[in-house]
Amino acid sequence: MERTISLLISTLVLLVAPHVNAQFNFTRTTCEMSKVCVTDPNNCDPAGNSTCLFGSLKVTSQNPPNGFNLYNELSGMSSGYIALGLKPGQGNTTLYICGRNDTNNETFFSTMLLSGENNTLTKLSTSMAMFPGNMTAGKIQCVFNVTNLNATTSTRSSQDSTFTVVIGNGSVTDGVIGNFMKLSSRGPLDLNNPANTTANTTTVPTTTMSAATSVMPYHAVLVLLGILGMTVLGTA
């Protein structure tokens, strides 16, 4: 519970005006140098490849003993949503979801908990803010920050940057987030040492995780406890 609350109140998104598509130039050029990358198919490059499901994670700063800040890129084809997940050694997976709300054709961002026991999804927050997203011809792209991330669950006296990273997609029907389909998994990985993660890529058999959660519209307001400002994201 402690770790779940920590992730919930420390997830930051960059606010922008409604209906404005951000422009991204995602590439795997610096993968395993300055950022950890997870892709499906393996080693695909989102630059010029619309079918590449791509997630990247880059540690931007350290906040010992509380944790570290993480800058994330996510890109892929889906008529519903794409997602990147972080799972500590012990505990459930936190999914960061970017998608299209089929009831109003607007993009949305949501954070959900994927239970390791029954593979169900549970919403971690009741509303999400506007974020820099882009959706063109079925291709969804977004960026987001996670602050004070720590894989340690029993104590906050130490910092742990080791997670298993998953990426996948799913459907959105009548504004409801559907089952999560895991397509690729890597780890456990030390996100703070991307150069040492080259040998841990696994394309997983198609699996689905059940969910029945309504999505929040693009223009909803996200209230994060303890967060007073807005984080301006740099480029990866």
pLDDT of residue 83: 96
Q: What is the residue range of 71's domain?
A: 2-214
Rounded Cα gap, residues 57 and 86, in angstroms: 10
Q: Is the pLDDT of residue 9 over 80?
A: no
- 7 occurs within a structural domain: yes
Query: Is 128 within a domain?
Result: yes
Could you tell me if residue 41 is inside a domain?
yes
Question: What are 87-108's pLDDT values in tens digits?
Answer: 998 788 999 999 998 898 888 8
The whole-number pLDDT of residue 135 equals 81
Segment of 28-42, 94-108, 215-229 carrying the highest mean pLDDT: 28-42
pLDDT at 136: 81
Domain assignment present for residue 220? The answer is no
Decide if 226 is inside a domain: no
Q: From the CB of residue 144, how many other CB atoms can be counted at a distance below 10 Å?
A: 23
Q: Tokens 């972080």 — which residue?
A: 86
Task: Give which of 162, 227, 156 is closest to 191, Cα–Cα.
Answer: 162
Q: Is 229 inside any structural domain?
A: no
The whole-angstrom separation of Cα 112 and Cα 95 is 5
Q: Is residue 232 part of a domain?
A: no
pLDDT in tens, 14-26: 433 344 456 688 9
Q: What is the CATH number of the domain that holds 114?
A: 2.60.40
Half-sphere exposure of 133 (CA within 13 A, CB side): 28
Q: What average pLDDT score do residues 140-144 get?
A: 92
Are the beta carbons of 169 and 181 closer than 8 angstroms?
A: yes
Lowest mean pLDDT segment, chosen from 1-5, 43-47, 224-228: 224-228
Q: Is the pLDDT of residue 178 over 50?
A: yes
Query: Could you tell me if residue 222 is inside a domain?
Result: no
Tokens read off for 187: 């780890």
Q: Give how many domains the chain has, as a whole number.
A: 1
Going by the DSSP 8-state scheme, the letter that residue 22 receives in this structure is: P
CA angle 61/67/68 to nearest 5° reads 25
